[in-house]
Amino acid sequence: MKKAFITTLLCLSTLYASAASAAGKTGELFFRSNGEEIHINRLVSNSGKVTSVSLRTRCPSVGECKTYSQKRELFENLLRAIKDRQLYTYVEFDYDPCRGDPHNPCQPEGVGPERIQPFNEQYSELSVLQEDAIIQRTREVPTPKQDNALTTLYNSVVAAVGTVSITKLTDYLFTLSNDGKVRTNVLVTGRYDGREQPISYCKMVSGGRCINEEGVTVSRLNSEVIAISYPKGRSDEDFNREHDLYKIMTRLKYACRIAYTGTWPNMVGQMTCHYQPY
């Protein structure tokens, strides 16, 4: 499986995954922590066990990013959300601005009567304005969603600790992360040049600290390019880190290419990500 995924990434080195990066929030997992929407990225093994959980949060402004205790609180609130069935996703629904009054039919702005044909038959003929008018007739609506893999993780932690104390459950989860069994990460983003961009990526470990892993760096090369460097060895943790970073950047609407330097098994991964909103 690892070899297959690495091969896939290398194939992507010549392609931009624009379709995936434009997917929006549909199908992704979220919860709320102190009023903020937090994105969940979790990796699951072939056996159905969670191997990594990353939470994406936004830094309000430069110099006001989250402290260790605030990052710990994110995982405490994640466990509460799993327990209380408060996870949710987004589902895309058709939105018709003309819907409502059956006695007053209308046409959506920019689409004349001659365009009332199946969408895919007309797509190639539509102007940019008409295309935008149709695309804007969909809305992403938050919808409750339980995640079997995360529920299983929560139940296994409760069984191991023997209590439902959120504090003790969080401590144990970080112990699993410290031991490389279930990675718990926080990706902090900021608003730059009108878009959400990564600032830092750290791993939660015993004691509630979020450590910057040795050799892992996130750099903004310019307004549209992010470079991420990280160790690339043979361990499950190395594989999960790379997969996690790749998925997170894709969901931030970046298309990434991966190259490796050095000699196996002590290589360095170089992930170069270009902003691709469409």
pLDDT digits (tens, 9 = 90+) for 234-270: 888 899 999 999 999 999 999 999 999 998 878 999 9
The pLDDT assigned to 195 comes to 83
Instruction: Tell me the per-residue pLDDT of 147-199, one tens digit each, with 9 for 90 and over.
Output: 999 999 999 999 999 999 999 999 999 999 999 899 999 999 988 888 888 98
- Spatial neighbors of 61 by CB under 8 A, at least 6 apart, are 190
User: pLDDT category, 138, cuts 50, 70, 90?
Assistant: low
Does residue 131 have a pLDDT over 50? Answer: no
pLDDT for res 202: 93
Instruction: Give the pLDDT band of residue 73 (cuts 50, 70, 90).
Output: very high
Peptide bond before residue 277 is cis, with ω within 30 degrees of 0: no
Amino acid at 17: A
Residue 108, pLDDT > 90, answer no
Look at residue 277 in the predicted model and tell me its pLDDT.
Answer: 83
Report helix angle 148-161 to 166-178, nearest 10. 100
Measured between alpha carbons, how far is residue 257 from residues 10, 74, 226, 236, 266 in Å?
8, 30, 11, 21, 20
Residue 127, both tokens: 């102007």
pLDDT digits (tens, 9 = 90+) for 204-233: 999 889 998 888 999 999 889 999 999 998
Query: Mean pLDDT throughout 84-99?
Result: 79
Pseudo-torsion of CA 251, 255, 260, 266, nearest 10°?
Answer: -10
Residue 101 pLDDT level (bands cut at 50, 70, 90): low
Determine the Cα angle at 28 with ends 23 and 30, to 5°: 135
What pLDDT, on the 0 to 100 scale, is given for residue 254? Answer: 94
- At residue 50, φ and ψ (nearest 5 deg) are -70, 130
Q: What is the pLDDT of residue 173?
A: 97
- % of residues, the chain, pLDDT over 70: 74
Supply φ then ψ for residue 156, to 5 degrees. -70, -35
- Which domains, ranges and CATH numbers included, belong to the chain? 1-22+214-278 (3.30.1360), 25-95+137-212 (no CATH)
**Model pLDDT, residue 110:** 45
- Contact of 274 with 220, CB cutoff 8 Å: no
Phi, psi for residue 179 in degrees, rounded to 5 = -85, 0
Q: What pLDDT score was predicted for residue 96? A: 60
CA distances from 27 to 51, 165, 190, 263 (A): 20, 30, 23, 38
Q: How far is CA 150 from CA 42, 43, 50, in A?
A: 8, 10, 7
Please give the pLDDT value at position 163.
94
